[in-house]
Structure 1
């Protein structure tokens, strides 16, 4: 997990001011001046898109992003009758335009049930409150968690503050465009942005698990009154994500960098009154990404804290081990512990 602090400089700066548009790279001096050392390091690790294409206007009421009279009529009708907007259905021309993206959609390395769930989301067929209101099943479509707006597919998975907390503490750290109307449009933008990157499929795979677990957690909250805990949701996401990385259907082998000496067969507790943080790192050669787990326990073996981290853009196992160790130290500082024994493989 990553925690970001406000800029040390009180001046308001937009992201464009942090980028050298001539070389299309970060202005490292500016970033380091405005942010503390930890945050500046994390920012400078974010890759910038190589393509320098110009921005263009997009019409969010159609899947293709192009304005059509039919989609405009639907928007006008929804505004006039104060009814929720339905996701645009793909016409033959739209389907043809998005054919490459749909092909990538079904090749995303994730579970089949999640692929089917995402397909339902893309066609706005999951039973969110706005869809249930249209069918006459419920009378009030306002999101019960936020109370801000109707619970559409996009609101539930991307814009609801409760869901945004899960995205923000994940390694993807996404903040979705507030002017977007349909989930399908947002998903297509993610596919288009990430697919060319070396770790693009890994990012899309992780995003699919986040969408799925947000939906499951929403249902647990709605029907079972289960407490909404973003940290617990993220832990389940990372557990399932790493489990999937180990199965042969992904054609990916997860390599753990072990020290030459064999690890102890059982956990050795620290001295009385002391704490021990156990860390473990895993590295994936195909996706050039790493995962890490942290468990903080006292001398009696009682678990004090647990955490996990997923890190893209890791070059080799040695860097993965160092990166996870650094994250462990950062977590100890965040938790407020200064004298802790750290043990790894």
Structure 2
């Protein structure tokens, strides 16, 4: 059963990398060597497995604390987590931004998406997404 789960996680990691490379080609006409795509997927898979190992292996307290500090943990119950992302389509000079607010259980509290003209810099689009997330946070 454990090997089956690992194969599924690795497959998802490979598919995610293929999707990102496909988008980079479609929107930016950037190519990436296949072996680099697979290596990136393997690296992320190894990182994921390493972060989740502490659940099944007995480790000394020091090793466990180090591993926990390097892995994601659910936020404090009083915390709301807001994730943002921005994307650009240079050919049409369009940009899109999105944000999702979740509570400590992962339940969606609010979500927004915005489409706009591309400013010319991806960093500006990311900053706009963060600004809009801060505005969203004030309404929750």
Query: Which structure has the highest helix share of the two?
Result: 2
Query: Which structure has the highest strand share of the two?
Result: 2
TM-score band w.r.t. shorter chain = 0.3 to 0.5
The TM-score normalised by the length of structure 1 is 0.21
Larger Rg: 1
Does 1 or 2 have the higher relative contact order (CA < 8 Å, sep 6+)?
Answer: 2
